[in-house]
Amino acid sequence: MKLSFSAADEQFREEVASWLQQNLQGEFEAIRYRGGPGDEHMYHHERHAWEQRMAQGGWTCVGWPKQYGGRGCSIEQQVIFFEEYARAGGPGRVGHIGEGLAGPTIMAFGSDAQKQKYLPGIVSGKELWCQGYSEPGAGSDLANVKTKARFDESKQQWVINGQKVWTSLAQEADYCFVLARTDPESKAHKGLGFFLVKMVQPGIEVRPIQQMTGTSEFNEVFFDDAVCAADDIVGAPGDGWKVAMGLLGFERGVSTLGQQMQFQNEFNEILKIAKGNGAAQDPALRQRIAKAHTELKIMRYNAMRMLSGQSGGDGSLQKEALIYKLFWASWHRELGELAMDVLGPQSQILEAAPYQLSRLQAMYLFVRSDTIYGGTNQIQRNIIAERGLGMPKEPRP
């Protein structure tokens, strides 16, 4: 694994920092450091405009191949980009699901027509995506898909019926990638399809879920004879599980660098408060702050290690990637607890009536879900044991 940066990389760093300094100001000053966990709903339109400003400067999809509109940046340059973005206080990216998940999946598994149809909208920052995986009653069992898709021969289109849940920012998305069962007689991971579905159409209803943060990042999404074109299935009917697993590889891949960007900003804010209110002088808190800083660096180096050895193309990564979700979810939960302890009694006081939380208060409440969504910690331990260590599978009924 390469841990140092070349002179050319450092020149690239100066280019990134300079562009951010010149552009993340004025109309965009208010969104600096905004859009993190528990704060994703804030300044959506301003952050969407920022996404398009970044696209104009050529700073979206920096790791994508140039032929698809990216910059073709190396892993080292992508790390630099995310580091400088965090240092500048860059807001949470509203296009991260398209850039980090949908786009790479379409590049790896999609047809040429799908690439031409969908990738430009992601690169331009204009079209936003959401993820249609989780379903009611399925818990962490992703393969327990009940949503169905049937092909209407007369209209030459797919018709989708079912329900998804915990769909982040579905109320703002233009498209959703949907895992649905194409073979009604199939079970588990067989007989699935991976569909690219337009959100604004008759037959799709989005119902925001109010969370304990008082906001609604998550949604329920209902499909009632919603449709997509015949060629908007990625791969063949029955290939959905393979495509879905490839996407999860991307989720644990380069997009982790963007996630760490947000973590670094949160940590920096907590550290600043600790230095200001004297909490950093408390030996116990001081030790926890040092532990959080150290583990954040471990997270970064592990991300670089697994990305340096990725097989490329199909989203598969080295086995180091298996520990990532368990590690960051537990770390982030502890960071929320550290934030409250650093704030002390102030953590119990609302900034304004009737229910307006500070960013750290919202983060603390939100991170309780980190160890649940995207695969619970228990599921992640099973994955590490069975796929990483080759241990016997857990007995299942």
CA distances from 18 to 12, 14, 24, 143, 202 (A): 10, 6, 10, 46, 45
Whether 251 is catalytic is yes
Instruction: Provide the CB-side half-sphere exposure for 309 (13 A, CA).
Output: 11
CA distance 55 to 103: 15
Angle, to 10 degrees, between the axis of helix 283-308 and the axis of helix 75-87?
150
Which of 140, 195, 203 has its CA nearest to residue 166? 140
The dihedrals phi and psi of 378, each to the nearest 5 degrees, come to: -65, -40
User: With contact defined as beta carbons under 8 Å apart, do 194 and 232 qualify?
Assistant: no
CA distance 382 to 377: 9
Active-site annotation holder among 127, 251, 266, 295: 251
Angle, to 10 degrees, between the axis of helix 75-87 and the axis of helix 7-23?
30
Q: Could you check whether the bond before residue 354 is cis, i.e. omega within 30 degrees of 0?
A: yes
CA distance 26 to 30: 8
Active-site positions read: 251
